[in-house]
């Protein structure tokens, strides 16, 4: 599905609102300032996915979009391996960065992802009047491309191009760099853009 | 897309659904549930690599490299055009993982991809000499047709094995 300039702007604004709420929760959890980028929407051909998401090691907390839709696609809390260690260290009061992930780290990451993605989806639901709920989370700490291509392979609607919609959240004090990435099914994206266009007409 | 090119010796990066045929080094990164399949002809020192995403094309003709059922005949045709005999080809596969247990259980695309590729090779009478498949792990694969068809698989933790 091709987005018009107006649709892309509207989606960007939606991402802005969602990510701002997610950034606030992250800021509270870290007791530190978190800044966010302008949300970016990229139409990526599958063959080119590797140019956007490489085989670097990263933690991805993944939720299926559910609620008013059954299988709406995925929303992902993405954080590089180094940032993930610094994040859990900050939360758990540890300092050793040269270590493996343990169970504590994994539950901390799942929890952070859960809180941030819930905040993101709460905010977008309020704006759209369309409820998307996160499924229970799944965690992968491995090559980012491997995790992402596996999600794309199991989308219900087969695609040759994906719309990656991501916002970067950065905490400079603790050198934590993370992203919230949405990978919606085409039908979900259509539903969202339709709702946004109705809202714009109404105002 | 994916024109065979034997002039260059730089490593060809093979994206999802893409393939290459030739004597130059090839690489495909971050295989999850997808399969990296290599076919190598030791007599011609020529090979082919493809990054397969799904088991069945369901009759689609675009992007034949994306599906197990269309990718294998496609590579055989391309290799045949370069004078490689089907009988001398050796196949190796990597990938077919299940990265997310929670979501993956009902679909298990990785396992279906692996099965379909194995069946496809068997139907063509091609020997599958070695494989590194399954589990919950991402893999990056390099293929060197010029160096005896060497295939190495690197995992996220940096551990590299040869197939």
Please identify among residues 76-115 of chain B the ones whose CB lies closer than 8 Å to any CB of chain A.
97-104, 107, 109-110
> What's the pLDDT tens digit per position in B67-109?
999 999 999 999 999 999 999 999 999 999 999 877 655 678 9
Chain A residue whose CA is closest to B103: A138
B109 → closest Cβ in A135, A143, A154 = A154
Active-site choice (B34, B49, B79, B163)? B34
B84 catalytically annotated? no
B38 found inside a domain:
yes
Residues of B with CB below 8 A from A46's CB?
A: 15-17, 53, 66
Give the pair of three-digit tokens for residue B148.
């005896």
Please identify among residues 19-58 of chain B the ones whose CB lies closer than 8 Å to any CB of chain A.
29-34, 53-54
Q: How far apart are CA B60 and CA B52, in angstroms?
A: 14
Residue spans of chain A under pLDDT 70? none
Q: How far apart are CA B91 and CA B40, in angstroms?
A: 7
Residue A84's nearest CA partner among A141, A167, A128, A17 is A141
Question: For position B49, which CATH number holds?
Answer: 3.30.1330.200
Percent residues over pLDDT 90 in chain A: 66
Please identify among residues 129-148 of chain B the ones whose CB lies closer than 8 Å to any CB of chain A.
136-140
Q: How far apart are CA B145 and CA B12, in angstroms?
A: 12
**What are φ and ψ of residue B120, in 5° steps?**
-60, -40
| B1 confidence band (pLDDT: 50, 70, 90) | very low
CA diameter of chain A: 54
Helix axes A5-30, A81-92, angle to 10 degrees: 40
- For residue B103, the enclosing domain spans 12-162
> What's the pLDDT tens digit per position in A58-112?
999 999 999 888 889 999 999 999 999 999 999 988 888 888 899 999 999 999 9
Count other C-beta atoms under 10 Å from residue A3's C-beta.
17
B6 found inside a domain:
no
* CATH number listed for the domain at residues A5-202: 3.40.1550.10
Domain-by-domain residue ranges, chain A? Answer: 5-202
Parallel/antiparallel/unpaired status of strands A57-67 and A132-134: antiparallel
């Amino acid at each position: 599905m091709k987005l018009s300039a107006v649709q892309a702007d509207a989606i960007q604004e939606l991402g802005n609102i969602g990510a701002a709420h997610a950034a606030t929760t992250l800021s509270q959890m870290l007791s530190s300032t978190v800044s966010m980028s302008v949300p970016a929407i990229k139409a990526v051909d599958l063959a080119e996915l590797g140019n956007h998401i490489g085989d670097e090691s990263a933690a991805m907390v993944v939720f299926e979009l559910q609620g008013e839709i059954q299988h709406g696609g995925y929303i992902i809390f993405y954080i590089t391996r180094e940032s993930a260690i610094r994040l859990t260290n900050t939360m758990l009061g540890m300092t050793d960065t040269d270590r493996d992930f343990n169970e504590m780290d994994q539950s901390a990451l799942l929890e952070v992802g859960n809180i941030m993605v819930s905040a993101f989806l709460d905010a977008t639901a309020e704006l759209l009047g369309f409820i998307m709920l996160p499924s229970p989370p799944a965690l992968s700490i491995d090559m980012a491309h491997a995790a992402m291509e596996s999600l794309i392979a199991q989308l219900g609607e087969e695609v040759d191009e994906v719309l990656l919609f991501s916002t970067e959240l950065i905490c400079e004090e603790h050198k934590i760099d993370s992203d919230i990435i949405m990978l919606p099914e085409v039908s979900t994206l259509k539903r969202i853009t339709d709702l946004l266009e109705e809202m714009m007409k109404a105002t | 897309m994916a024109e065979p090119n034997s002039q260059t010796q730089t490593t060809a990066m093979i994206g999802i659904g893409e393939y290459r045929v030739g004597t130059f080094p090839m690489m495909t990164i971050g295989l999850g549930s997808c399969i990296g399949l290599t076919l190598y002809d030791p007599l011609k020192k020529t090979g082919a690599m493809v990054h397969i995403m799904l088991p069945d094309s369901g009759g689609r003709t675009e992007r034949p490299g994306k599906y197990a059922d269309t990718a294998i005949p496609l590579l055989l045709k391309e290799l045949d055009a370069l004078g490689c005999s089907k009988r001398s080809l050796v196949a190796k596969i990597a990938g077919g993982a299940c990265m997310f247990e929670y979501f993956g259980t009902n679909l298990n695309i990785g396992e279906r991809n692996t099965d379909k590729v194995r069946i496809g090779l068997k139907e063509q009478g091609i020997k599958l000499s070695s494989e590194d498949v399954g589990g919950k792990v991402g893999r990056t694969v390099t293929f060197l047709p010029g160096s005896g068809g060497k295939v190495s698989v690197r995992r996220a933790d940096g551990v590299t094995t040869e197939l």
